[in-house]
Structure 1
């Protein structure tokens, strides 16, 4: 599923007041963290993830890996915060039409 610009704008608006649900710690991206992200996506559909890595390239690689492993859509990256969306089996968020 690929999001249109209109849908991304809609999701950005919904994500604005959200706090990061997952914070990567000193151990970085582990299988446990991936499982936690998948569980949060299943429950919330739209989440923020905080990646406190200082190295920009490494941070981008971590974020790309998260998207790849969760099959989620990346809505936006703001600094060290990534916004992800993955539609649940019973969607709570009604996206605007394409």
Structure 2
């Protein structure tokens, strides 16, 4: 679980990123979650945009993506989701210490 300070740090790191995935009318599926998990292993921090035609609630979509990819939901702002997962082999982001 991320602390507030760590989430603030990750939000500032994600600010300049562009979304690399889009959730549309089909909603969240297994294939998409697998690709997101792979992207998180490489990048650690990604943005995903939820399109207007997505039929599911944006909060539900964000939670499904985070749970499916085994990642932390950093932020849901508008229709943009920010996810973080520490990489096993490719650690780039050094989080502020807890406490």
- Cα shift readout 1:26-81 (whole Å, capped 9, x = no counterpart): 32211111111111101100000111146796221111111111110111111000
The TM-score normalised by the length of structure 1 is 0.89
Q: Which runs of 5+ in 1 are unaligned?
A: none
The separation in 1 between residues aligned to 2:5 and 2:19, in whole angstroms, is 23
**Aligned-partner Cα distance in 2 for 1:95–1:6:** 9
* 1:43 matched residue in structure 2: 42
In 1, the alpha carbon distance for the partners of 2:55 and 2:34 equals 24
- Would you identify which runs of 4 or more consecutive aligned residues in structure 1 move more than 6 Å? none
The alignment of Structure 1 onto Structure 2 pairs a total of residues equal to 97
Unaligned runs of at least 5 residues, structure 2: none
Specify which structure has the higher proportion of helix. Answer: 1
Which position in structure 2 is the counterpart of 1:22?
Answer: 21
What is the TM-score with the length of structure 2 in the denominator? 0.88
More displaced 10-residue stretch of structure 1: 21-30 or 80-89: 21-30
Distance 1:53 1:63, change over 3 A: farther
> Equivalent residue for 1:68?
67
Matched, 1:97 2:94: no
Other-structure match for 1:7: 6
